[in-house]
Amino acid sequence: MENAITVDKLYINYKYADKRSLTNALKFWKKDKDDKSFSAVKGISFSVQKGEILGVIGKNGSGKSTLLRAIAGIFSPDKGSIDLHGNSVSLLSIGVGFQKQMTGRENIFLSGLLLGFSEKQINEKIDEIIEFAELGDFINRPVKTYSSGMHSKLAFSITAILETDIILIDEVLSVGDARFKKKSFEKMKELILDSNRTVIIVSHSIETLKQLCDKVMWLHDGEIKMQGAPSEVLPVYEAFMT
């Protein structure tokens, strides 16, 4: 099998106090000694095969979301590399970037264009998205009038129906009310089971990962603590967390 994602010795650092007021900026030129930085991801290497479903687990602050954002191209690596082998990628997380004063329909177009689809492709899918999101007339109202549930339903529908080669999922399985949750979980399964699609899921739910994943990676303080089949990794993780 060919690889869809190859991550090699990836480091991602955050800098504290990076946002400078002018006085700080002047000090900075004099040489700033307090320029602490902290690594969220420390030298991780792994690869995901095409069609594989990788689960990422770990306690809060272990670098899971940072890793996903880096794969999505939002962060660039401070060291190391990420190779997506030319696949298109989308990050499915609660609340895709919406322009609040614009309508839901316009935001579907904007998100789609940002994900690299053409206006024509979006036009073909838009009815399906609107139907799946169950927003009714709200689709023609500004997003700022939406409830948080509607907001995440729309966000989910856009990324779920405009399918990219690689889907990154960040704790999205709890969207909307109980019924929509079930529906989105079904849709997610359908997407994930497509053998051409590569998926990385970040979740705290051991149950979800057990059901969906081929492989699980356990991150601890920015390093890989363990990776392998869900049946191997998850019990150890569970024991560790209790």
For residue 101, state whether it binds other proteins (rule: CB under 8 A): yes
Site string for other proteins, 105-144 (x = CB under 8 A): -x--xxx-xxxx-xx----------------------x--
* Contact window for other proteins (CB under 8 A) among 102-110, 191-199, 211-219, 229-237: 102-110
CB of 11 to other proteins, least distance (A): 13
For residue 98, state whether it binds other proteins (rule: CB under 8 A): yes
**Among the listed residues 82, 102, 173, 191, the single contact to other proteins using CB under 8 A:** 102
152 Cβ contact list (under 8 Å, min separation 6): 94, 95, 172, 175, 176
Strand partners, 142: 103
Residue 148 to residue 95: CA distance in whole angstroms: 9
User: Do the strands 89-93 and 3-15 form a parallel or antiparallel pair, or are they unpaired?
Assistant: unpaired
Q: Which is nearer to other proteins, 9 or 15 (CB)?
A: 15
The kind and range of the H/E element at 231 are: helix 230-241
Q: Which is nearer to other proteins, 40 or 53 (CB)?
A: 40
- Report the length, in residues, of the chain: 242
User: Do the strands 198-202 and 215-220 form a parallel or antiparallel pair, or are they unpaired?
Assistant: unpaired
Site string for other proteins, 13-52 (x = CB under 8 A): -xx--xxxxx--x---------------------------
Q: Which is nearer to other proteins, 43 or 95 (CB)?
A: 95
User: Tokens 């838009």 — which residue?
Assistant: 126
Question: CA nearest 44: which of 35, 36, 53, 56?
Answer: 56
Contact predicate 99/154, CB 8 Å: no
* Contact window for other proteins (CB under 8 A) among 56-64, 69-77, 201-209, 218-226: 69-77
For residue 204, state whether it binds other proteins (rule: CB under 8 A): no
For residue 229, state whether it binds other proteins (rule: CB under 8 A): no
Question: CA nearest 237: which of 47, 14, 57, 34?
Answer: 57
The kind and range of the H/E element at 216 are: strand 215-220
For residue 83, state whether it binds other proteins (rule: CB under 8 A): no
Contact predicate 57/237, CB 8 Å: yes
- The site for other proteins, by CB under 8 A, has a size of 37
CB of 75 to other proteins, least distance (A): 5
CB of 115 to other proteins, least distance (A): 7
The residues of the shown chain that bind other proteins, judged by CB under 8 A, are 14-15, 18-22, 25, 69, 72-76, 90-91, 93, 95-103, 106, 109-111, 113-116, 118-119, 142
